[in-house]
Structure 1
Amino acid sequence: MSSADKNLSIFSTANLPDVSEKRFAVLVAEWNEDITEALGKGAIETLLKHGVKEENIIKRHVPGSYELSFGAQVMAQREDIDAVIAIGCVIQGETRHNDYINNAVAQGLTDVALKYNKPVIFGVLTPNTHQQALDRAGGIHGNKGDEAAITAIKMLGLK
């Protein structure tokens, strides 16, 4: 189902694991800041809502979505971090830059998750327009940050 037909803030919260003692890193790209800050806020609010202690959430910024992979690696290698949530937004432009960035970030985050055996969540929007990004950052389609946080919590349940 495409996100045009789904609210990203509506998901099953049945059987979520206890994450009251887990530590999360939330990495937020500065590029498209109006979007990424809304996504980051959604992720943090959702973590808190589901029992994560405020002092167990570390928020850091990276310049852009491309830098999320390195930032995730820095955070994932820390033994006191249980999961990493990578937040970014790459909007389709007149060039194919988004194809290269999105592919690199997706592969980079996957590599970090596998290397450190920790959930590293892809909370990166890849919309065609700024309006589509707004719609998914707390607008008519909910907030992808909410979904990313719930995904991190659910993935910790596998461990």
Structure 2
Amino acid sequence: MLIAEQGALDATDPRLNGKKLTIGIVQARFNTDITNALAEACRTELLALGVAETNITLVQVPGALEVPVALQSLADNLKYDALIALGCIIRGETYHFELVANESGAGVSRVGLDYKVPIANAILTVENIAQAVARQTDKGRDAARAAVEMANLLESIA
């Protein structure tokens, strides 16, 4: 049995088949233009991978620090095969950037480990708006693909 393989997967790979999956997305509203673009790219890719529109739940929270508690609430439902965290943290002039980036990342990881649910973390941590714009579409798509692949992987291991 093949457990790991290097390189990107082709969209026809069965590990990217989302037809039977239910996905929850938590989107931070802070830096809305960026997070809306992340969410749209993510949703579009999930649909392209076969996830039914009715099997995608999107909830919004104020900012990246609120993402983990919303993920935890979704995980409590036990109906999601995978979750996705979307947000954008842009470095400012204070230590606040590091605090938000570190704490939101740790919270996302903790929820995934505590609930044994895969979470694709696409909370961007960037130096400026130009970096965020350059990443918003690819990272949204990447999160969808990672969520579907990991949901299928965990199902195959179980």
Following the alignment from structure 1 to structure 2, what is the Cα–Cα distance between the partners of residues 34 and 93? Answer: 18
Match of 2:17 in 1: 18
Q: Which amino acid aligns with 2:97?
A: N
Greater shift, 38-47 or 73-82, is seen at 73-82
Pair 1:52-2:28 in alignment: no
Following the alignment from structure 1 to structure 2, what is the Cα–Cα distance between the partners of residues 46 and 126? Answer: 22
| Residue 85 (structure 1) shift | 0.2
Match of 1:148 in 2: 143
Q: CA-atom RMSD, angstroms?
A: 1.1
| Residue 34 (structure 1) shift | 0.2
| Residue 147 (structure 1) shift | 0.4
- Aligned partners of 2:28 and 2:35 also within 8 Å: yes
Specify which of 145, 153, 157 is matched with residue 158 of structure 1: 153
Please, what TM-score do these two structures have when normalized by structure 2? 0.88
| Residue 18 (structure 1) shift | 3.1
| Residue 130 (structure 1) shift | 0.6
- Aligned partners of 1:76 and 1:82 also within 8 Å: no
Structure 1 SS opposite 2:132: helix
Following the alignment from structure 2 to structure 1, what is the Cα–Cα distance between the partners of residues 97 and 150? Answer: 27
> Hey, which bits of structure 1, 4+ residues long, moved more than 3 A?
none
Match of 1:4 in 2: none
Alignment of 1:9-158 (within 5 A): 11-13=8-10, 14-138=13-137, 143-158=138-153
What does the per-residue CA deviation read over 1:17-38, in whole Å, with 9 as the maximum and x for residues that have no partner? 4321211111110000000000
Structure 1 SS opposite 2:21: coil
- Aligned partners of 1:39 and 1:137 also within 8 Å: yes
| Residue 44 (structure 1) shift | 0.5
Unaligned runs of 5+ in 2: 1-7
Q: Which amino acid aligns with 1:48?
A: L
What does the per-residue CA deviation read over 1:104-132, in whole Å, with 9 as the maximum and x for residues that have no partner? 11110111011111011111110100111
Count of paired positions:
145
What does the per-residue CA deviation read over 1:35-89, in whole Å, with 9 as the maximum and x for residues that have no partner? 0000011111000000000000001100001100101101111121111101000
- Aligned partners of 1:26 and 1:84 also within 8 Å: yes
Unaligned runs of 5+ in 1: 1-10
